[in-house]
């Protein structure tokens, strides 16, 4: 951390803040220029994130050098993290495909989805049982009943399950039925929930908040990791901007950015980000070309009958085509799709 | 709700969707034009928020007419809601001032703050015991211990208490010590928490999310209100934009907009939104001039020693000046400050 | 400017960049820490804005300290700039009101507007002759013919004229008819136009771009000022954000921010920013309370017949009320409206 | 266009607005419901873009159905536009690569760049002679002298030239030296410039503004096309959002969106959008996978010595690698790079 002070500051001003910082255990390197005094602060300056520098007279600016996260950083762990779940793995050479309906609606729907996805070689089933909805009047999901339906269908077809957890109390209810717990965009900074998820052993997929920076995403990962759970999967699902043609703006540059800053795997959600089914396939290919470790896609056996997000759901046939096209791009960037052996 | 279909659609296309909508209990008014067929859908179309219109052939567009919230709307309740708490009231002619430190740090600090604020005529003390922080390494608040300190100091000086609740489990811990429960910006769409807050009797102040629209803010209020708790206070605290000079962009137009759309009171937070202490006083005056029902302001007896948000905290002296200046603006718009009898 | 290098950098790395910077005339102050080497660069570092620091090995970060603008800064000129035009003045204790229709439509309309505004005590007439429109199919203004109409009407009622200039060629056409030339939001970074406006003697009102930062606004002012024309008036007219309830998001915090950073006057446009007539009056009052030096407001003698922006135009009666309410707020913050002697 | 009126409106209200619209030549289809009266307006409603509907009593809402642009729309022209320039073509099966330095700096630099790019099989040289810079103190380009240097170097190596035009007067200066004229992001809504570019015969590449929607981009294309010049190439170069890790947020979803809405070719600029050289290659691959018709990339023979944008410029070696990797992705999506026969 670098402290910039006015060179016209009195010695008292400089001493006051210097003493305070030294008492907190930091070493200082002072360099007096004509216009500015520059003070290098040495030590774990993450502890100074909230130090009220600007309340001290003479202080002009404070410049951060160290990244505020640690366990999630590439400096801390050079090699990419590969998370193994059953016979799937996320973060390695193989690209993970997660697919399924926005929400579990009934036994038939989730059975049909699981069967279709399984035929397409998919290993991870997504589906919502507890749904976060902007309006209290929207369908809120089937809850525990939905969880059981999904779990049974998944078992029947040998699929792993990823589903969203919205509150601390739900962790114990959901964990027995899920292989990966998802934290939704609206809960990315629900820190109490993140802390609890740091105590479990199952992998957590953390979706980027609609207006969260890359740094905040990694800090939220750090909440989970510093609690003891290192199996964090990041997910880019679009940010909120002025553009309204798409539901959100898919920020794909984040994919190679995360690869530079962190060792954690990153998944892309082209369904929620674009909100338009005709954009899902091209953006899936783009995500893979950018270096994503996987995709999470809304697939419904009958989108016309979907109780939510029908506008962005693919049917099984379109999804089959997406897999074929995406596989070609995966090969072009030296990767392959996760255990996919298309049997259709 | 208005459905727009291509005039070249077949009768079958029109019939398919018409039957479906009639079965759901809606009446239809069809008007066939040269280029478009326009179908007016009559009934409580809030139920159709997630209907997969776009999966039906021939559908070009769907246009919402009704607002998606009800209990929070001005149409539902013409007169402004006035929330009475002790001898303070929020939403009436008097403007409510809430002030206090970002977080409770120790007994001395909260005592000193309470004493100073009480002398300035303030009726509502704000202070954080459980703090949501982007980084797990930042000071997280004193928790229950902090709550007790704040509650005792408040009682001693006859102040009401507003403090943040971050999770469902905290409701029972916090409620006995607080007169108003605050939902922070990061939790505005923590729907599980909102639902629980709908079951309690205490007023809830709901802060707008960093990237939430006015409509979403009112929908989140609707979550609380539809649970049974009508005492909701809205709070504008800045949205996230590209501008980085200020911490966030204070969206003051929301104040008169809310007055048009809703009967709920709205408070403005000039401290967190601007993040700069020199902007707090002018933006407080602007908020009042725009029609805000109150202000929530960070005041610390010694900002230099603050454990968080020192850069935006006022000391008691500056806050005294703010009150004087704000009072003049309040009078100019036909209002007065809440029970303030400045004794300094 | 402060250069941060990795402490593991070789002496060659440090020497390479040091030599380069010394050759460019800068003095360096090097301070070697355990993790970082910090190099203070002393001199007019505005010249280094585009220096490719990151291409040099060992460089971790470069931190700006100096502001990139000079003539527009408060450091350069302590006292606020007051621009006198006829018997009006902008930037002093008196608040300037500019009002008039979005565009000049015909002689009757501009005559009627001028007459009405003059009766209300307004000194500065706004009106568009050349209109920037998103669509080529929208009404583009009457051009030179409109200019003449406006100029004649203004003269008849003793009003000054402000109108928009959209290109270099228009400067000579417009200047004879206008007392203030306006640069629209879309042209805030039309640098060729700004340079030419630096050569004229008339005041220029520079509107903030829809996605321009405060720093960029001041840099654009610097373009005009560095060309020789010091009479620059800034104008906040809303920025583009995700919120769609209002046409744009009026960023009022910019008003006190500009007062801190610059000596230039700042005007607020509550009409274009909100896009809703019912928000114009409350936001006018808020702007004045925040410290704005004036307002520019769309007023049409018959908004129902307006060829553009009817939704946000006030009629003369509503505008009369706005003046009365705004005057009270102006007094509350120790200012008065510009030469207004309401005669209605 | 659909007009929504309150069903409690008087017949007079309905008649007043109906008469007005009929007089303007529109046909109306009125459908009276219990809560709303819905009026379908038939005709070229693009003319009503600025009609002051909301000034008429009883009007609740106005809903657009038609797109506001025409010549640029896919409905108007089904087949994709392919623009042929020399032996290059943009918009067909082959992907166009444009590369070169941010600005022409001296003869040696542009000669070296042209030679290197030519060896890599590049057909289109980019380079700035007139540079738009946020600060008046930044290097503004060599102007006409730079144009000549670039033109000579290009001729020597058989390259086509694309360069930016910033004002109407520059058109005549630049056109003789350029094969494609570029309109920069800051000038996307410089409508006077767009109109003039509608009168020339050379292709124009129109960059999306930093805060412009897809619809506005297409409307700006419409300005050029409605003037007579149909050779418009669109370019996505990043939008401004809250995320500051990248210089801008590259909005790749726009690529398939444009393919749905328009027949015009679309190019992606991964250099200016990301502002970080390590992100240029992955985002180039992603752009191609998303369906882009080409790339425009900053390449400098010696980025360390670049007078602008050094942080995002690739050297020739890195660019050679980018070409190889991108070619694989191009093949995976059934396309090839433009006339590239890599000879290195």
B235-269 confidence digits (pLDDT tens): 999 999 999 999 999 999 999 999 999 999 999 99
The residue that leads in pLDDT, B265 or A139, is B265
What average pLDDT score do residues B107-114 get? 96
Q: Residue A343 has what pLDDT?
A: 45
CB contact under 8 A, A31 and C42: no
Q: Select the residue of C249, C257, C278 nearest B251 (Cβ to Cβ).
A: C249
Q: How far apart are CA B65 and CA C43, in angstroms?
A: 61
Interface test with B, best of D32, D33, D64 (most B CBs within 10 A): D33
Q: Residue B344 has what pLDDT?
A: 41
**Which chain C positions have a beta carbon within 8 Å of A61's beta carbon?**
65
pLDDT at B233 over 70: yes
Q: Residue B340 has what pLDDT?
A: 59
Q: Residue D109 has what pLDDT?
A: 94
Q: How far apart are CA D253 and CA A311, in angstroms?
A: 16
pLDDT in tens, B157-172: 999 999 999 999 999 9
pLDDT at D323 over 60: yes
Q: What percent of chain C has pLDDT over 70?
A: 97
pLDDT at C340 over 70: no
CB atoms near residue B343 (< 10 Å): 8
pLDDT in tens, B274-329: 999 999 999 999 999 999 999 999 999 988 777 777 778 999 999 999 999 999 99
Closest Cα to residue B117, out of B127, B128, B125?
Answer: B125
Phi/psi for A2 (5° steps) reads -120, 130
**Which chain A positions have a beta carbon within 8 Å of C35's beta carbon?**
42
The region of weakest confidence among B67-76, B146-155, B237-246, D239-248 is B67-76
What average pLDDT score do residues B225-237 get? 97
What average pLDDT score do residues D261-280 get? 96
The region of weakest confidence among A253-262, B249-258, D65-74, D92-101 is D65-74
What average pLDDT score do residues C113-134 get? 93
**What is the 8-class DSSP label of residue D84?**
E
**Which chain D positions have a beta carbon within 8 Å of C174's beta carbon?**
none
Q: How far apart are CA D311 and CA D318, in angstroms?
A: 14
pLDDT in tens, C297-316: 999 998 877 777 777 899 99
Q: Residue C195 has what pLDDT?
A: 96
What mean pLDDT is reported for chain A? 91
What average pLDDT score do residues C136-150 get? 89
User: Across chain C, which distance is largest between two alpha carbons, in Å?
Assistant: 78
With contact defined as beta carbons under 8 Å apart, do C248 and C283 qualify? Answer: no
Q: Select the residue of A33, A65, A242 nearest C40 (Cβ to Cβ).
A: A33
D64 touches chain B (CB under 8 A): no
CB contact under 8 A, A65 and C31: no
The region of weakest confidence among C28-32, C139-143, D97-101 is C28-32
pLDDT at B343 over 50: no
What confidence category does residue C3 fall into, taking pLDDT thresholds of 50, 70 and 90?
Answer: confident
pLDDT at A25 over 60: yes
Q: How far apart are CA C310 and CA C276, in angstroms?
A: 9
For the whole model, what pTM was predicted? 0.90
CB contact under 8 A, B240 and D244: no
Q: How far apart are CA B36 and CA D38, in angstroms?
A: 13
A44 touches chain C (CB under 8 A): no
Q: Residue C244 has what pLDDT?
A: 92
**Which chain A positions have a beta carbon within 8 Å of B313's beta carbon?**
52, 55
What confidence category does residue A341 fall into, taking pLDDT thresholds of 50, 70 and 90?
Answer: low
Q: How far apart are CA C202 and CA C64, in angstroms?
A: 34
Q: Residue C63 has what pLDDT?
A: 77
pLDDT in tens, C198-227: 999 999 999 999 999 999 999 999 999 999
CB contact under 8 A, C215 and B282: no
Q: Residue D177 has what pLDDT?
A: 96
**Which chain A positions have a beta carbon within 8 Å of B220's beta carbon?**
134
Q: Residue C45 has what pLDDT?
A: 78
- Return the bridge partners of D233, or none: D205
Q: What percent of chain A has pLDDT over 90?
A: 69
Interface of A with B in 221-240 (CB under 8 A): 222-223, 226, 240
Cβ pairs bridging A and D (under 8 Å): 127
Neighbours of chain B (3+ CB pairs under 8 A): A, C, D
Domains parsed from chain A with CATH numbers: 2-63 (3.30.70.1140), 83-337 (3.20.20.70)
pLDDT at A187 over 90: yes
Q: Select the residue of B47, B135, B168 nearest A169 (Cβ to Cβ).
A: B168
CB atoms near residue A98 (< 10 Å): 30
DSSP per position, C75-121: TT--SPP-EEETTEEESSSEEEEEEE-SB---HHHHHHHHHHHHHTT
CA distances to A281, A337, C287, D76, D254 from A180, rounded to whole Å, are: 24, 19, 51, 48, 32
Cβ pairs bridging A and C (under 8 Å): 46
What mean pLDDT is reported for chain D? 91
**Residues in chain B, total:** 344
Q: Which residue of C has its CA nearest to A65?
A: C61
The residue that leads in pLDDT, B6 or D77, is D77
Interface test with D, best of B28, B36, B75 (most D CBs within 10 A): B36
A28 touches chain D (CB under 8 A): no
Q: How far apart are CA A71 and CA A264, in angstroms?
A: 10
Q: Select the residue of D249, D253, D331 nearest A253 (Cβ to Cβ).
A: D249
With contact defined as beta carbons under 8 Å apart, do D178 and D197 qualify? Answer: no
pLDDT at C175 over 90: yes
Q: How far apart are CA C22 and CA D138, in angstroms?
A: 19
pLDDT in tens, A268-297: 999 999 999 999 999 999 999 999 999 999
Q: Residue C341 has what pLDDT?
A: 55
């Amino acid at each position: 951390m670098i402290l910039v002070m006015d060179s016209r500051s009195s010695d008292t001003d400089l001493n006051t803040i210097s003493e305070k910082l030294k008492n907190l255990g930091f070493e200082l390197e002072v360099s007096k220029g004509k216009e500015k005094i520059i003070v290098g602060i040495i030590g774990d300056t993450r502890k100074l994130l909230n130090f009220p520098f600007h309340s001290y007279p003479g202080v002009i600016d404070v410049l951060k050098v160290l990244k505020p996260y640690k366990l999630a950083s590439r400096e801390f762990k050079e090699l990419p993290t590969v998370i193994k779940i059953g016979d799937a793995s996320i973060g390695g050479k193989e690209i993970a495909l997660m697919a399924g309906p926005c929400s579990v609606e009934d036994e038939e729907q989730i059975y049909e989805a699981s069967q279709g996805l399984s035929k397409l070689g998919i290993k991870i089933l997504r589906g919502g049982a507890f749904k976060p909805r902007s309006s209290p009047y929207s369908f809120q999901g089937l809850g525990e009943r939905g969880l059981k339906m999904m779990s049974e269908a998944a078992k029947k077809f040998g699929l792993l399950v990823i589903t969203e957890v919205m509150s601390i109390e739900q962790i114990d209810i959901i964990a027995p039925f899920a292989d990966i717990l998802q934290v939704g965009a609206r809960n990315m900074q629900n820190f109490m929930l993140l802390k609890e998820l740091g105590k479990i052993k199952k992998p957590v997929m953390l979706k980027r908040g609609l207006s969260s920076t890359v740094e905040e995403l990694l800090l939220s990962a750090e909440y989970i990791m510093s609690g003891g759970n290192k199996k964090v999967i990041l997910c880019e699902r679009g940010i909120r901007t002025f553009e309204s043609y798409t539901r959100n703006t898919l920020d794909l540059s984040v994919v190679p950015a995360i690869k530079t800053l962190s060792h954690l795997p990153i998944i892309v959600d082209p369904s929620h980000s674009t909100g338009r089914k005709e954009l899902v396939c091209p953006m899936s290919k783009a995500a893979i070309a950018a270096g994503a470790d996987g995709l999470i896609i809304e697939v419904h056996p009958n989108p016309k009958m979907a109780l939510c997000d029908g506008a962005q759901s693919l049917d099984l046939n379109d999804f089959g085509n997406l897999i074929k096209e995406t596989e070609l791009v995966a090969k072009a960037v030296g990767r392959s799709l996760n255990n996919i052996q298309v049997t259709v």
